[in-house]
Every structure is written in C-alpha cells, then in structure tokens.
Amino acid sequence: MTRQLLMNNVYLTYIPSEKFKTSFLSAQMAAPLEKETAGRNALLVNVLNRGTVRCPDMAAIGRELDMLYGARLEPTVRKKGENQLFGFVASCVDDRFLPKGEKLLEKLTDLLGEFYCNPITRGGRLLEEYVESERENLADLIRSDINDKRSYAARRLLEEMCAGERYGIGRMGSAGDVEKISLQKLNSYYCDILPKGRLELFYCGSAPEKRVAGAFTRAFAALPRKGVLEPADTVRRPARDPFQVVVDEMDVSQGKLCIGYRTDSEDVPATMLMNAMFGGTSNSKLFLNVREKLSLCYYAGSAYHRLKGLITVSSGIEFANYDRAVEEISRQLEALQRGEWEDWELMGARESLLSSLRTMEDAPSSLEDFVVGQAVAGSDETIPGLIAALQTVTEERIQEAARAVRPDTIYFLKGKEAQA
Amino acid sequence: MSATEYPRLGEKVFRRRLNNGLEVVVVNKPFHAKRYAFFAVRYGGMDLRFRLDGQWQDTPAGIAHYLEHKMFDTEEGNALQELAKNGAHDNAFTSNAITAYYVECTEKFYENLRILLSFVSVPWFTQESVDKEQGIIAQEIRMIEDDPDWRVYANLMDCLYRSSPVRIPVAGSVESIRQITPQTLYDCHKAFYTPSNMVLVCVGDMDPDRVAAEAEAILPREGGPAIDRDYGEEESLAPAERERSMNMEVSMPMFLAGYKCRPQSGGEDLLRQSIIGDLACDVLFGDSSPLYTRLYEEGVINGSLGGNFDMLPGVAYIYVGGDAKDPHRVFEEINRQAKKLGEEGIDEAFYQQIRRASYGGMIRSLNSFENIAVSMAEGYFRGFDYYRFPEIFDAVTKADVEAFLRENVTPERAALSIIQAAAGCRDRSLAEGQ
C-alpha cells in the first residue's frame, strides 16, 4: 500500500491486488461536520451524480456505465468522527475477466473526474431541475430512516446524547435544513468547497501504480486548487451526571432500547477488547445473558465509536421488560469493571477482532473505509499495527478501560399507550 | 476430488459426492485470508407438509426456522461459543427453500469446520431450551412485523398465491411457534438433515481432500430416504387478490408489485430462465432503463425503485417496488411499458447495453464468498452448475427476453401491495427536521 500527494491537497492511496473480480476506486472530500453544511455536502454529491457536460442526464450516465460492463459509480456520504466524507465510490470488472480484454480503468476515472469538475450547467449554474428533485429525494431519504426502527432509535440516541456537539448531527444533515437549500446557495457552496476541500483518492485492483496515478491525474487535471479546509479534530466530552432518559412513543410492536456511554480512555485496543466482550460478538456478555439466558430480546449488542470515545448498546425488547433489560445491561458492564470474565471470553473477543481485521484485506470496500477514515482522522494507525497492538493488551488494561465507561443517555422507543 | 476449471471466471472448483450422498464442493480462492464453510439443507419455510415413512405429516409454520435456532445447542453447551472462542464468525439463515449454517474465519479452519459439521448433524433439544427459545423467536417475529419492507413483501405473497406455502412467513407467527415441541424438532431433523439432502460448500484457500475427509469422519455413514414434499395444488397464474393496503409508521407510501410467472421444474433450464428473468427486469425497470430514468426525472419515483425475478419450488414471480407518493401511477407505468416492449420489441442498442451490464454484474457477484456459496448450493439442489452461467448467458437472445415480458408481465398476472403512511407519522418527521 502506498499513499502519495498527487496534487495540492489531493492524495492517492494505492493497493495492488489480483484476487478480486473488480477494481475498486473512490474519490472523497472531507470537511468538518457542521449543521450549516452537512445537508449541502450530501445534496451536492447527489446533484453532481445527475449529469456532466459529456453525459448530461441519467440515461447517458447509465449507458456509459452499462457499456463499461455494469461499472458502478455512486454518491456516498459518511460520518467519520466529527468529519463528513462525501464523494463517489466506483468499481468495474477487472480487465482480466472481460470477453475482449477491454480496458475500463481510464474510462471510469474520467467519468469520476467529470462528476467533480465538469457538471452540467446552465448560465454558469448547476441545473435547477436537478437541485430541486435531489433536494426532495434527499429530504425524503432522511425522513425514511423512521421506516427502520432499529437504526432510527440508534440515530435518535446520538441526537439526544450529543446535542450541541458535531457528533449529534446526522450523516446527511436534517430534512428541514436540506429543504432550505436554494440553487443559488448550493451553487456558491460548490464553487467554495471544490478548490479547498481535501480530496482522498483510492484504488484497489490489478493495474500498476503508474497507470492508476496517470489515470487519476488526467481525470482531475481540471480540479481547481486554492485555499485549504482541514478536517476537524474530534472532541471528547465527559458523560452527563446524572445520566438522562429520553422516551419516544410510536405505533410499533417491539420496543427499542439504546444506551449511550462515554469513555475518556485513550487506550483504543483495550477498549475494543472490552467492547467485544461486552456486546460486540455472539459470544458477548450481552448476547449470552440478555438474549440467551433471560430471553429478553432477539438482538442485544454494543458498538464502540472509537474516534469519538462512545459505546452504544442497542436492543429490541418487549415494552414491559424495560427495567429488567436496563438492569441486566448495567450488571454486565459492572462485571467487566470488576474484571469478571472467563479466559474463553477474552480469547474469543481477541480472536474475533483479529479475524475481522485480517478479513478486511479481503474486501476492497472495507479497506477503503478504513484507509480514508484514518487519513481524515490524521491517524497513522495501520491494520497490521492494530493487530499487533491487540495481541499485547493485558487484562488489567481491559478492566481499566471498562472503568472509564460511564452512562450518558438512555433512549427508549415504545409503543403508544404501552406501559414501560 | 474432481477438479473443474472455469477459465472465463478465473475459478477452479473441486467436487465429490460422498458415499452417504453428501455433495462436497470446494471453491478454491488463493491469496485470501478468509475461509468460509457453508453447510446447507434442502429444507425451508415452505416445507411444512411432507411424507416420512409413508405417513404425510403437517408441521407448524416456522418450524424450519425454529429448528435452525435450536441446532446451535449441543450436549456440552452451545456451538456459537465454541466457534467464538476461535474467533470464527458464524451465523445461519432459513429461507423459503433452504436452511444454511456458515462459519467464516482466518485461523483454525478445519477445527471450525468440524464444529460446524457436528452441531448441525447432532440434534440436542430439551423441553427447557425449546421453551426458552419461544421468547427469543417471538421477539424476532415482533421485530420483522415492524419492518415495512418485510410487511409489503408478506402481503404481496399473500395476494399472489392461494395454496402455495410461499404465502406463509418463514418465521411463522407467535401463535404457530407455540405448537413446537422437542419431538417435532427431532422428527424434522431426522427427516431433512440427512447427508443426501445436504450440501457442503467451502470457499477459500484450503485442501479439498481434507475437507471431504473431515465430512466423511463426522457425518453419518448412511444418507436418508428421499422425501416427498407437498407444495399445494398447482396454481392458476391469476393472483388470489389484486391489491392490499396497510397503514404503518413510514415516512412515505411504499409499494411492491408482483407478477406471477410460470415455474420451471429444474436443471439448466432453470438457470437459463433466471438469466432471462433478470434481463427482463433490467430492461423494464433497471436503473438505466427508459422507464426508470423518465419516472425519476418526473419525480414519480426516487432511487429506491428496484426489483428482481425469483424462483422457488413450484413458484416464480417478478417483484418490483420502492417508495413512491403515488404507487398506483408507478404500477400502471410499469404495466404500460411492459406491454409496449412486448409489442414493439426492445431497442437493439439498448439490449446490448443491458446485456453487458448484466454480465458484468454476474462476474462482480463472485467477489462475495457468501454469494458463491449460496449460488452453488441452490444450483446443486435444483440440478445445475451455477458457474456455467457465461455459456448459458451467451445463448440467450433478445427474442427470449421479449417473449418472457409478453407472457409474464401483464395486468392479469399482477398483484399490488401498498403500505400507506399512518396519519401523524409525516408530521412528526417534519417536526424533527426543524
């Protein structure tokens, strides 16, 4: 793997590999997550996705991609710590598997470059009809997170827990803010962000590095470069004392319980292990006790948001089991804080994390997500480095990490007129 | 083991049928750290009525899925924990036609494989553990009942079919699973979990002979008798009900339209039919189709519109749906476009474009070990070699796709399922947006 500066504030990460059927490419801009701009960034990539000077509408783009043997080029918007990553990921069948040995890479990077640098315009502005239709679609998409109650509850927890912090802002901004973005505003925003946004390019596939660097350089030759917008440092805060409880009501048959914790521990590998034992695997304390032993739920798990220093627990329960579930989840955390675990729990957690890290090398999209995330966080941690660090974490460090975890917010989504 | 090379796919596959009837398939994947074992039974949510030892048996809805949950229990404890100790990631699923258990790991592959083979082939149920599972599965059922994507599909199946068990949800209902006892689970395991009704597909960098040897050492020496399954009477191709609508907490109406297609019995024709059906879907409503791009530009649909062609035992159907403010309008547009394509034919240049994209998509899907394993297992159970798709694909013509659209995608074959946004839901989302 190599990472090189291709042009001013534009970096290319290159990973050679011949084991995949496809080549994977990505071009991502990074900016601090702000209420003002989160919706604009999300809307911008969706508008740029609608047409370029050469391929002015969906049918033309669709034809271009279909003729590249079903190549894919999709807008993406991600949250990495307190930064937003927005741009496009693309992939195409590797040259080796094409019936006539065609070369697709340059055609795909060209289109990627056009999305950024040569969008279709009228009178020097992005097309009004594209902005209007994508604005409506994006607002609808943000609202549709209510359809999946599990992710809706997870989002509501972060919104309440991190109110006033960047981390509480939705990945794509809020529907209300998106609806207020005018053509004029988006257009001037595009002109402002394009020259100064950090651009992270990524390639994983069988083409040699020189060819890849050449293809990207050509495709992004027209990218203006002026000024620099640096990604933000992610800020950690102490947990609320006492913790807060937030309850929403909705017409649902299953309750969703989410608990958010904060940690001030800087020991990332130890916290990763502690979280894996707590609720990170099907062998974890939450899974074995809340689900298997007490039959309180179908799922109960936890996630470690390592850039921000949060741990969130998510579970689907009967409304009436709220108290028992909260109590049991707390009891499992307390056990970790007292250092109570069997050897097999720690061994399983460690092996599971190691295995996940090793298999990342088998999926270009996971590699991209890791590499670009690290670049934005300004971290030089590598996958082999993390693997080595996890292998040397002691039991004392894990207990220490568990002791640094404090509850901040409990969120419960319950049925209407249900007793909880 | 016998090896087959597939030069157009850059793949090499080893196969052997053991004496007990188990098919062992190893898809060789050098340079990958991940190793994957997929152990599947030809037994799913649709197999509710079957004949064992000459007797027809009716079993409760959701039994195959319940059995899947309980198979992880072993006399010593739980196989999940055994595998987790080795850092292996494992899971299982029950679909309409198959139940599958799989393990993914980087280290200790053969040890994990032995655990997998052994917990799936040795049942261990107690009254206590079966009772306890009621609570977990009931919560799983509650969870999917709140999922509008699942609801819209379940209602569509109920509209399309009269007697086929495809209309019964795979997980059953909170009521139906109450009838399940340790004895029903033992009976179903005995009937279906026999080596001759199963396939083991392993994907990754491994020794094929060792895989076969492990399976031989652990599984029973004998296969099992063939099982007769009853999927109901052959159905007319007209839907049982034209339309059904339901209110849920969603932000925008959601719909799924279905078209009943003539089922195929099996063999390579099935693979051919599946390629034709997929091409028909891409031509009719795929992302780059004239219908999709026009409706998107007119604001009638958003990026969520999509669908596919599905083939299950005794049934086949096209489904297409997504979020739309006016589901009836989209449904009518799809019907009109299908009629037009059937009558006027598909534009030759557009057909070539879709053909390329579709072939690329099939190659792309081979990046996923899980896709490979599922396709191999389904192909084996239904009598074809999935990796022969490039050759089959070459032989499909534009006329085949046109004929398929003409015959199957008509209003007479169709049903429409809609989820309407419950009153108040949209207001709440608006308030949150501020």
pLDDT over 70 percentage in chain B: 97
Q: Is residue A183 part of a domain?
A: yes
Angstroms from B127 CA to nearest CA on chain A: 15
- Taking alpha carbons only, the member of A283, A303, A323, A324 closest to residue A405 is A303
Look at A336 and A291; give whichever has higher pLDDT: A336
Angstroms from A270 CA to nearest CA on chain B: 17
Q: How confident is the model at residue B432 (pLDDT cuts 50, 70, 90)?
A: very low
Q: What is the mean pLDDT of chain A?
A: 94
Question: Mean pLDDT across the stretch A252-264?
Answer: 94
> pLDDT tens-digit profile of B252-280?
999 999 999 999 888 999 999 999 999 99
Chain B contacts of A18, Cβ < 8 Å?
31
Q: Are residues A209 and A259 in the same domain?
A: no
ipTM attached to this prediction:
0.86
Q: Are residues A41 and A144 in the same domain?
A: yes
Give the strand pairing for B414-421 and B243-248: parallel
Does the beta-carbon distance from A299 to B143 stay under 8 Å? yes
Measured distance CA(A18)–CA(B264) in Å, rounded: 38
If you measure CA to CA, which chain A residue comes closest to B148?
A147
pLDDT over 90 percentage in chain A: 87
Does the beta-carbon distance from A356 to B89 stay under 8 Å? yes
Beta bridge partners of A304: A311
Contact A31, A84 (CB under 8 A): yes
Q: Is A2 on the interface with B (CB under 8 A)?
A: no
Measured distance CA(A66)–CA(B358) in Å, rounded: 8
Instruction: Among A203, A219, A235, give the residue marking a domain's end.
Output: A219
> pLDDT tens-digit profile of B391-429?
999 999 999 999 999 999 999 999 999 999 986 544 443
Q: Are residues A252 and A161 in the same domain?
A: no
Three-class SS of residue B30? coil
Does the beta-carbon distance from A148 to B287 stay under 8 Å? no
> pLDDT tens-digit profile of A91-144?
999 988 888 878 899 999 999 999 999 999 999 999 999 999 999 999 999 999
Q: Are residues A21 and A164 in the same domain?
A: yes
Q: How confident is the model at residue A290 (pLDDT cuts 50, 70, 90)?
A: confident
Common-topology check for domains B2-229 and B243-433: yes
Q: pLDDT at residue A209 above 90?
A: yes
> pLDDT tens-digit profile of A385-409?
999 999 999 999 999 999 999 999 9
Contact B360, A97 (CB under 8 A): no
pLDDT of residue B423: 64
Strand order in the sheet with B49-52: B55-58, B49-52, B228-229
Range B2-229: architecture per CATH: 2-Layer Sandwich (3.30)
Beta bridge partners of A89: A26, A74
Q: Which of B75-84, B156-165, B364-373 has the lowest mean pLDDT?
A: B75-84
Measured distance CA(A13)–CA(A27) in Å, rounded: 10
Q: Is residue A230 part of a domain?
A: no
**Cis preceding linkage at A384, omega within 30:** no
Contact B182, B126 (CB under 8 A): yes
How many residue pairs from chains A and B have C-beta atoms closer than 8 A?
215
Q: Which of B33, B363, B426 sits opposite A359 (nearest CB)?
A: B33
Q: CATH number of the domain that A305 lies in? A: 3.30.830.10
Class of domain B243-433 (CATH, top level): alpha beta
Question: Mean pLDDT across the stretch A175-199?
Answer: 96
Q: Are residues A57 and A205 in the same domain?
A: yes
Does the beta-carbon distance from A149 to B88 stay under 8 Å? no
Q: Are residues A214 and A279 in the same domain?
A: no
Measured distance CA(A118)–CA(B338) in Å, rounded: 36
Angstroms from B155 CA to nearest CA on chain A: 17
Count of CB atoms within 10 A of residue A230's CB?
14
Question: Mean pLDDT across the stretch B58-67?
Answer: 96
- Taking alpha carbons only, the member of A414, A110, A405 closest to residue A279 is A405
Measured distance CA(A144)–CA(A79) in Å, rounded: 18
Measured distance CA(B32)–CA(A19) in Å, rounded: 7
Q: pLDDT at residue A419 above 70?
A: no
Domain that holds residue A100: 2-219
pLDDT of residue B215: 98
> pLDDT tens-digit profile of B128-184?
989 888 888 888 898 888 899 999 999 999 999 999 999 999 999 999 999 999 999
Q: Is residue A225 part of a domain?
A: no
pLDDT of residue A418: 47
Measured distance CA(A197)–CA(B9) in Å, rounded: 40
Does the beta-carbon distance from B302 to A140 stay under 8 Å? yes
Instruction: Domain ranges for chain B, please list them.
Output: 2-229, 243-433
Number of domains in chain A: 2
Q: How confident is the model at residue B74 (pLDDT cuts 50, 70, 90)?
A: very high
Q: Is residue A232 part of a domain?
A: no
Instruction: Among A185, A219, A253, give the residue marking a domain's end.
Output: A219
Q: Is residue A231 part of a domain?
A: no
Q: Which of A76-80, A291-295, A363-367, B234-238 has the lowest mean pLDDT?
A: A291-295
pLDDT of residue B431: 37
Measured distance CA(B409)–CA(B417) in Å, rounded: 16
